[in-house]
Structure 1
């Protein structure tokens, strides 16, 4: 005999919208406390939930919330992330400028990126809304959505901050990293430059996801000249500013720093999240793989900045990362040996950043 809770799960697929709505609303807490009830009959309830993301917006709000929570389960995650028809509907809805559940859909996508096969988003296409002014690649649409939706002018119901976590997980894959450093034909822009401007954004979620994305893309060693070039990605000011406070530096050091780092306001504060600061320092460490980058960092006085960060932020992870970076910047360069093999970055030099744990609502 079915329990009352099992019967409630079954009512999610009821033909009457009022019944579906009440059932979905009451099932939201159980998607965290008793996720197993949605996995009966070979994930039958999950199959119904996937169809209902296109239901009436209020019902869909509860449905997507349930799916966000259930995606913490690997079996459910696989069912969602490998279903092309379901993904197509989620991608179609999230870019719709009038979609009321766009933020929830962004959270769901961030969780789905935990499944490695979602990297195939690079191959997926759909017609973009005219308001988005993007091309037909879904990856580029998501990037443009993240930028244009930040201030609520694209969709008044959403800020799309959680797409930053999506990008962070996707850039664990080499092919996605390559995309982020290649100028796109439709707008002539390198995708990573669209994200770098958010390293000091007010949203903790957006800053953290962007910081992790930048670090992950920095594992693409051949792109490091683009990272350092002022005419291309020009990443240094965007990862140095968040780790700077209002410290005063010797005039000689200050004048040699990047222009964006000079004459900062007296109330300038470094990022309040230690994890973000550590991520940026680790990105700098990754970029020191080339002599040109090391010399550039010395030239613009990165060492004094890192020294002050190490002194003022009492966090073991940050201090360890700062010490490793200082060791690289302060050592003397050996004369180049043209016959010496080129050192490749490996996981011994650092690990790609995941976004945060699976989002729950």
Structure 2
């Protein structure tokens, strides 16, 4: 739909007055439905985002007493916040709107918790918005605590009206912020431990992925590596278990594995989503960036799990990540003074060289997989004939 200046002025004059809580219900319903349909095009979304008037008005209608009007307002904002520029604008126009939504969705009877979580997840995927929301949560008098967020996320049937799967993505987005990560890893609160079983949560890839992303982000706090790998948390088996299949190992290899990875059933399936497999590998790789973490991961024989994953893996990007981690585990230990890899300054020309090596390896894997797929197709054709 073309929106010329005359049309824009007409909409502002004729429809904006009905995007208020005080307007007549039937007129509000028509107005918000029109704007919901308008979000189906980029031109429509850009028009709504011009200035502050429409965004503020639509946000206000999420509190309408009429459920259909409130639902349409939420759906309109979901479509709008899919655009990063508009999400950023909403966060800065309605300064506590996202925070207030998060507070509401942590209540067990909030009917539009799933719609709210989609809006918050869309908005906080932008690092600046995540930081702003984190600052509001970290304020001394905040109504929202990270402990409450995790407790709600880990209680699967918390809200009978909503699944709350997107709360996992919100948590992952928020843990981009160091202050949030440190709360999640507060050694006296036992928060991160509650998330660990969800690395294999079968009912939702979104919730599972959000929690895997959260754990990966926490692994960037290098001073916590020893604690994360200790018996107090024992994060390694939870990161490796989704990557493990049902392969058999000899007695020596089996005994060196963590107990949770020993004698897995022959039909044990690996994580189906390649992006999640990559994140799990990257989390273990981060833990290998400190000497203490790397030595423990070697001692726990993570190599054999990754070796079998590499043989099985068909996704080129995941395969490159797996190979890089294997290289770390089978290489000799760095010389003294370079044991903590995250502290080593790598010259820019070497960074470029390593990146190019990864790209070349990725290209090789793609060619190899395409060749295998072509050969399998030919074999099937021959069998049919």
Matching of residue 52 in structure 1 with residue 61 in structure 2:
yes
TM-score (norm 1): 0.83
Bigger Cα Rg: 2
Structure-2 residue corresponding to 1:118: 133
Q: Deviations over 1:238-278 (max 9, x none)?
A: 11111111222222212221111122223210011011111
Change (3 A) 1:345 1:61: farther
How far off its partner does 1:170 sit? 1.7
Structure-2 residue corresponding to 1:211: 212
Contact 2:77 2:119 in 1 (8 A): yes
How far off its partner does 1:293 sit? 1.9
Question: What is the distance in 2 between the residues matched to 1:205 and 1:343?
Answer: 32
Matching of residue 39 in structure 1 with residue 49 in structure 2:
yes
Structure-2 residue corresponding to 1:175: 179
How far off its partner does 1:213 sit? 1.4
Matches within 5 A, 1:145-156: 145-148=152-155, 150=156, 152=157, 154-156=158-160
Question: What is the distance in 2 between the residues matched to 1:345 and 1:48?
Answer: 49
Matches within 5 A, 1:259-274: 259-274=259-274
Matches within 5 A, 1:19-30: 19-30=27-38
Change (3 A) 1:173 1:85: closer
Secondary structure (helix, strand or coil) at the match of 2:176 reads coil
How far off its partner does 1:212 sit? 1.4
How far off its partner does 1:122 sit? 3.2
Structure-2 residue corresponding to 1:358: none
Question: What is the distance in 1 between the residues matched to 2:11 and 2:344?
Answer: 49
- Structure number with the higher helix fraction is 2
Question: What is the distance in 2 between the residues matched to 1:45 and 1:269?
Answer: 49
Matching of residue 236 in structure 1 with residue 245 in structure 2:
no
Question: What is the distance in 2 between the residues matched to 1:244 and 1:269?
Answer: 7
Question: What is the distance in 2 between the residues matched to 1:91 and 1:327?
Answer: 42
Matching of residue 104 in structure 1 with residue 119 in structure 2:
no
How far off its partner does 1:347 sit? 11
Q: Tell me the number of residue pairs that the alignment of Structure 1 and Structure 2 aligns.
A: 331
Matching of residue 139 in structure 1 with residue 150 in structure 2:
no
Contact 1:281 1:325 in 2 (8 A): yes
Matches within 5 A, 1:70-81: 70-81=80-91
Question: What is the distance in 2 between the residues matched to 1:306 and 1:343?
Answer: 20
How far off its partner does 1:66 sit? 0.9
Q: Which runs of 5+ in 2 are unaligned?
A: 1-5, 355-385
Q: Deviations over 1:168-205 (max 9, x none)?
A: 22222222222221135xxx31x222222211112110
Contact 1:125 1:137 in 2 (8 A): no
Q: Identify the range of structure 1 (171-180 vs 199-208) with the bigger mean alpha-carbon deviation.
A: 171-180
Matching of residue 18 in structure 1 with residue 26 in structure 2:
yes
Structure-2 residue corresponding to 1:353: none
Q: Deviations over 1:196-248 (max 9, x none)?
A: 221111211011111111111111111111110111x2111111111111222
Higher RCO (Cα < 8 Å, 6 or more apart)? 1
How far off its partner does 1:344 sit? 3.1
Alpha-carbon RMSD: 2.6
Change (3 A) 1:85 1:303: closer
Secondary structure (helix, strand or coil) at the match of 2:111 reads coil
Question: What is the distance in 2 between the residues matched to 1:107 and 1:211?
Answer: 18
Contact 2:98 2:133 in 1 (8 A): no
Structure-1 residue corresponding to 2:379: none
How far off its partner does 1:137 sit? 4.0
Structure-2 residue corresponding to 1:220: 221
Change (3 A) 1:322 1:256: same
Question: What is the distance in 1 between the residues matched to 2:321 and 2:336?
Answer: 26
Structure-1 residue corresponding to 2:288: 288
Q: Which runs of 5+ in 1 are unaligned?
A: 128-135, 351-361
Contact 2:290 2:342 in 1 (8 A): no
Secondary structure (helix, strand or coil) at the match of 1:198 reads helix
